[in-house]
Amino acid sequence: MSLLADSSMHVREIFNVVNHQLATRPTSEPVAQSWARCVNEFQLDPSRFVTPPILTEYELSARREAMGDLIACSKLEMTTLYQQLADPELAVVLVDAGGVIVHQVSSVPFAEAVASDGFRVGALWSEREAGTNGMGTCLAERDCIAVCQHEHFYPRYTSLTCSAAPIFDDSGEIAGVLDVTSRSKLLQQHSLVLVGMSRQMIENRLIDARYRHANMIHFHSRPEFVGTLHGGKLAVADDSTVLAANRSALFQLGFRSLGELRGRRIEEAFNASLEDMIARSIRGSFHPVTVYSANATNRFFLIAQTAQNAAGRGARVAVAAPVPRTSTSTPEKRAPAARLDEIAHLEFGDPRMASQIQLGARVVQRKIPIILRGQTGTGKEVFAQALHSISPLSSGPFVPVNCASLPENLIESELFGYRAGAFTGAQREGRRGKIVQANGGTLFLDEIGDMPLALQARLLRVIEEHEVTPLGAETTVKVNFQLISASHRNLLELVHSGQFREDLYYRLKGVELNLPPLAERVDKLPLIHHLLEAEADGDPPELTKEAEQALLSYAWPGNIRQLRHVLQMAIALCDGQPIRCDDLPAEVTQRAPDLPPPAASQAASQAASQAAPYTAAPPAANADDDADLSALNAIQLNERETVLTLLEENRWNVSNVAKALGISRNTLYRKMRRLHIRLSHDGSANDAAEADDAADDPAPHATAAEAFPTNASRDTHHA
């Protein structure tokens, strides 16, 4: 069907619904009401698209200034939400109460693609101006809403899916809307849930920002939820009157609106005075204490803090803090500078690495689960150990478990332990599992994507219940640990393919940190000198200009691990003299593609970091040195990126990639040569494969979409 015919059908559909005639597709009640408002109240015509108006710089600046605290409380949450959704074809936006986009987080290509349709900072997206859409309709309905493709008013926007949630301020009024707009259908299942969670975090931050000098009370009917996203929060003045409350607090205390609670004394909510609750919290080292409802027998667990308590007890109270990130508007809750100094050795000037270190240092103070993404050899375990060293549980053990290296039949006993005599071959005295060993410290699950599905369910229960049951035992063991997971694979893709539990994924992913591959870091030279100094027994040897250039130009498919091994060998061979090219492996000294000068490279990296600070880096390509990619068309470039991604995810195991694609190894080798992809150990790469072309490749001219159907829609701007 042509675009014109599809647009005409969409217009007819809207008028059928508005006029209460038979519709061809089911339409939700909020969307139907929105279409009616657009036609009857705003006099809009879906067949006559008008680009939303754009504010002037002066008007936009005034809007931003008026809601400066909300923007400050939202920025980091928006960036983290963008990173959690992990899709370059989406934008996370914040609009004010009038529908103006005041802040946006997206990839540069997506932002440029939708800007022509008026989707940009400064644009007015109320229903009156842009018809039915996530942001405008959310403002009109004052509730969370998803507007999926054909539900938009204008046919121009039917390729988009929007998930939006209203942000309410401390007075109960709408302060703005948090929205995710995407071209991907995959996000419909969970994006609205994540948007709603991020909205709650922003609302809690807004209370912190506006009442930073008030006393804060965190409470819940279950102690493990105190200070979490689900917990109630009250801002209380020194005279014990309630100033502000989040929606969880209102719900738990039985109030329908803030107006019913604001101005009342705290004793009307709990059977204890403010002074008593603060004193008990201090005596209990800011662990939850028990109180009862003033008018019923409901029991609550509570932490009460003065403003001074919150600033002075940051690391302790952060264990029960409500959010996995710290807004730039509340500097008193950031990771202390001294703590950042302790892990500064992880980077030497690379802005992407620095941003991940700063984010990790903040969230680990709150005992939020962390996922580390990065290619093999980028130093995920070293990064995890560094985070452990500055966490509130740093005095406890750091327990690493490599889920990929353990046989499947041993992972369960390794993780959960077993009692004496639990099975044939068990140790006589039983064995504590890694989870119990990590109690009071950090559990590091490396290559978590390789954990069997059956064990994923047990791990999820451990995370939710904070207790573990060893094999063959009837009693449970309480545990408390910082959880850090790592994988070189895309866990969200594993979720979509059914290989990883979705509920476990979101339990593990309080925040995801992405370690850039060595080839893309702009601090390679100082990192090389640092490793030379670390590996040398005494004074580190110098590098000749030629050796230095070879090290800087090499692609480093094995990343820092490979670099460390190369430098160890070079130190042994140079015998105290400057390291020359003869002391380096042949693959390192072979001519590599020219690199941009460091200043240009750093500027490019910083620009990419500003556009999407925490998005995963594209895999480093092991491509032909003399390849001219300009000779490849768009389909071939897309196919090339897909093959590179699959090779990286399978650690460059050609047999596994060929099996995944349903083609022979010889066919894959031919494709790789056509796409200028070379295995470093490949040599001449299967000359015999050419003779099998007709037999092995019945469709030698298949398009990328035919050869790789599951990846046909991948973003191509990295290629």
- Return the CATH number at 577: 1.10.8.60
Question: Do the domain assignments include residue 672?
Answer: yes
The per-residue pLDDT for 690 is 37
Question: Do the domain assignments include residue 262?
Answer: yes
Question: Do the domain assignments include residue 49?
Answer: no
> Which of 477, 308, 326, 335 shows the shortest CA–CA distance to 394?
335
Considering the domain architecture, whether residues 364 and 224 belong to the same structural domain is answered as no
Q: Is the pLDDT of residue 620 over 80?
A: no
Contacts of 161 (CB under 8 A, 6+ apart): 146, 147, 148, 149, 181, 182, 183, 184, 185, 187, 188, 191
pLDDT band at 533 (very low <50, low <70, confident <90, very high): confident
The per-residue pLDDT for 286 is 80
Dist. CA 380–CA 645, nearest whole Å: 19
Please state the rounded mean pLDDT for residues 36-46.
Answer: 95
Domain encompassing residue 394: 337-514
Considering the domain architecture, whether residues 149 and 252 belong to the same structural domain is answered as no
pLDDT band at 481 (very low <50, low <70, confident <90, very high): very high
The per-residue pLDDT for 189 is 52
The top-scoring range by mean pLDDT among 164-168, 327-331, 337-341, 406-410 is 164-168
Q: Is the pLDDT of residue 349 over 70?
A: yes
Per the structure, how many domains does the chain have?
5
Question: Do the domain assignments include residue 628?
Answer: yes
The per-residue pLDDT for 111 is 92
The per-residue pLDDT for 337 is 43
Q: In the 8-state DSSP scheme, what is residue 189?
A: G
The per-residue pLDDT for 25 is 75
Considering the domain architecture, whether residues 493 and 575 belong to the same structural domain is answered as no
Considering the domain architecture, whether residues 421 and 470 belong to the same structural domain is answered as yes
pLDDT band at 310 (very low <50, low <70, confident <90, very high): low
Considering the domain architecture, whether residues 76 and 216 belong to the same structural domain is answered as no
∠ CA 437-443-445, rounded to 5°:
125
Q: Is the pLDDT of residue 124 over 90?
A: yes
Q: Over the range 603-639, which residues count as b (16 or more CB within 10 Å of their CB) and which as e?
A: eebeebbeebbbbbbbbbbbbeeebeeeebeeebbbb
The per-residue pLDDT for 241 is 94
User: For residues 221 and 249, is the Cβ–Cβ distance under 8 A?
Assistant: no
Of the given ranges (71-80, 313-322, 368-377), which has the lowest mean pLDDT? 313-322
Q: Is the pLDDT of residue 4 over 70?
A: no
> Which of 70, 129, 141 shows the shortest CA–CA distance to 103?
70
Considering the domain architecture, whether residues 311 and 358 belong to the same structural domain is answered as no
Considering the domain architecture, whether residues 467 and 367 belong to the same structural domain is answered as yes
Please state the rounded mean pLDDT for residues 521-527.
Answer: 87
Tens-digit pLDDT profile for residues 147-163? 988 999 999 999 999 99
Dist. CA 266–CA 235, nearest whole Å: 10
Higher pLDDT, 208 or 650: 208
- Return the CATH number at 399: 3.40.50.300
Q: Is the pLDDT of residue 719 over 50?
A: no
Contacts of 132 (CB under 8 A, 6+ apart): 31, 34, 35, 38, 147, 151, 152, 153
Choose the final residue of a domain: 197, 229, 250. 197
Q: Is the pLDDT of residue 137 over 60?
A: yes
Higher pLDDT, 258 or 705: 258
Question: Do the domain assignments include residue 203?
Answer: no
Of the given ranges (145-149, 410-414, 487-491), which has the lowest mean pLDDT? 410-414
Share of the chain above pLDDT 90, in %: 35
Question: Do the domain assignments include residue 28?
Answer: no
Considering the domain architecture, whether residues 501 and 526 belong to the same structural domain is answered as no
Q: Is the pLDDT of residue 545 over 60?
A: yes
Considering the domain architecture, whether residues 578 and 678 belong to the same structural domain is answered as no
- Return the CATH number at 189: 3.30.450.40
pLDDT band at 409 (very low <50, low <70, confident <90, very high): low
Please state the rounded mean pLDDT for residues 615-641.
Answer: 53
Question: Do the domain assignments include residue 548?
Answer: yes
Of the given ranges (244-253, 255-264, 703-712), which has the lowest mean pLDDT? 703-712
**Beta strands per DSSP E along 134-271:** 145-148, 161-168, 174-182, 215-220, 232-236, 242-245
Please state the rounded mean pLDDT for residues 54-76.
Answer: 91
**Beta strands per DSSP E along 330-396:** 370-373
* Residue linked to tokens 């072979």: 590
The per-residue pLDDT for 186 is 55
Neighbours of 689 (CB within 10 A): 18
The per-residue pLDDT for 710 is 34
Please state the rounded mean pLDDT for residues 171-176.
Answer: 89
The per-residue pLDDT for 139 is 96
Choose the final residue of a domain: 546, 569, 589. 589
Considering the domain architecture, whether residues 436 and 411 belong to the same structural domain is answered as yes
pLDDT band at 36 (very low <50, low <70, confident <90, very high): very high
Question: Do the domain assignments include residue 688?
Answer: yes
Please state the rounded mean pLDDT for residues 438-451.
Answer: 92
Q: Is the pLDDT of residue 297 over 80?
A: no
Neighbours of 275 (CB within 10 A): 12
pLDDT band at 259 (very low <50, low <70, confident <90, very high): confident
Which pair of tokens denotes residue 647? 């090779």
With 0.75 as the threshold, say if the pTM is over it.
no
The top-scoring range by mean pLDDT among 74-83, 147-156, 298-307, 343-352 is 147-156
pLDDT band at 3 (very low <50, low <70, confident <90, very high): low
pLDDT band at 574 (very low <50, low <70, confident <90, very high): confident
Considering the domain architecture, whether residues 173 and 103 belong to the same structural domain is answered as yes
The per-residue pLDDT for 339 is 56
Choose the final residue of a domain: 478, 498, 514. 514
Q: Is the pLDDT of residue 607 over 50?
A: no
Of the given ranges (148-157, 343-352, 433-442), which has the lowest mean pLDDT? 343-352
The per-residue pLDDT for 648 is 78
Considering the domain architecture, whether residues 409 and 455 belong to the same structural domain is answered as yes
The per-residue pLDDT for 406 is 72
